[in-house]
């Protein structure tokens, strides 16, 4: 019986992890569209990875067919917010960047929360 309980628990954990990944991808798409239309050939995402981490990710191909990828990670810490892009070291946000991130996070929660409520009513 323990084996069946373990298998059942593993399947439940897998379903929960898949649901969390799905919500994260969905939220990233919503977040990417918060700041205006996304140009053709671009991919933009903005999302809350966990309780202390925000991510801005953008990909595009320029007129010379060169692919660009920029990922900015924001780590919220007790003594301030740090950011890193690509392989660069962490830097403290400026006051203006902090305000911009705060506004972006607020917009994200407003839009994503409203969308989750809308989805919860569809049954």
Per-residue pLDDT tens digits for 47-68: 999 989 999 999 999 889 999 9
User: What does the domain layout of the chain look like in residue ranges?
Assistant: 2-121
For residue 69, list its beta bridge partners: 59
* Share in percent of the chain as helix, strand, coil (round to 5): 45, 30, 25
The reported pLDDT for the residue numbered 5 is 67
- For residue 121, the 8-state DSSP code is H
**Tokens found for residue 103:** 């506004």
pLDDT tens sequence across 66-82: 999 999 999 999 999 99
| Structure confidence at residue 4 (pLDDT) | 64
* Cα–Cα dist 13/50, whole Å: 18
Query: What does each of the 123 residues of the chain score in pLDDT, given as a tens digit?
Result: 576 666 677 777 788 888 788 888 888 888 899 888 988 889 999 999 998 999 999 999 988 999 999 999 999 999 999 999 988 899 999 999 999 999 999 999 898 888 777 777 775
Contact partners, residue 80, CB within 8 Å, separation at least 6: 92, 93
């Amino acid at each position: 019986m323990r084996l069946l309980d373990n298998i059942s628990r593993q399947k439940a954990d897998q379903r929960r992890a898949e649901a969390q990944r799905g919500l994260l991808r969905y939220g990233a798409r919503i977040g990417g569209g918060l700041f205006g239309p996304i140009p053709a050939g671009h991919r933009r995402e903005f999302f809350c990875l966990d309780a202390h981490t925000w991510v801005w990710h953008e990909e595009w191909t320029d007129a010379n067919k060169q692919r660009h990828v920029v990922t900015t990670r924001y780590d919220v810490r007790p003594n301030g917010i740090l950011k890193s892009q690509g392989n660069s070291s962490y830097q403290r946000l400026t006051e203006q960047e902090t305000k911009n991130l705060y506004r972006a996070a607020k917009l994200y929660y407003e839009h994503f929360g409203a969308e989750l409520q809308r989805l919860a009513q569809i049954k």
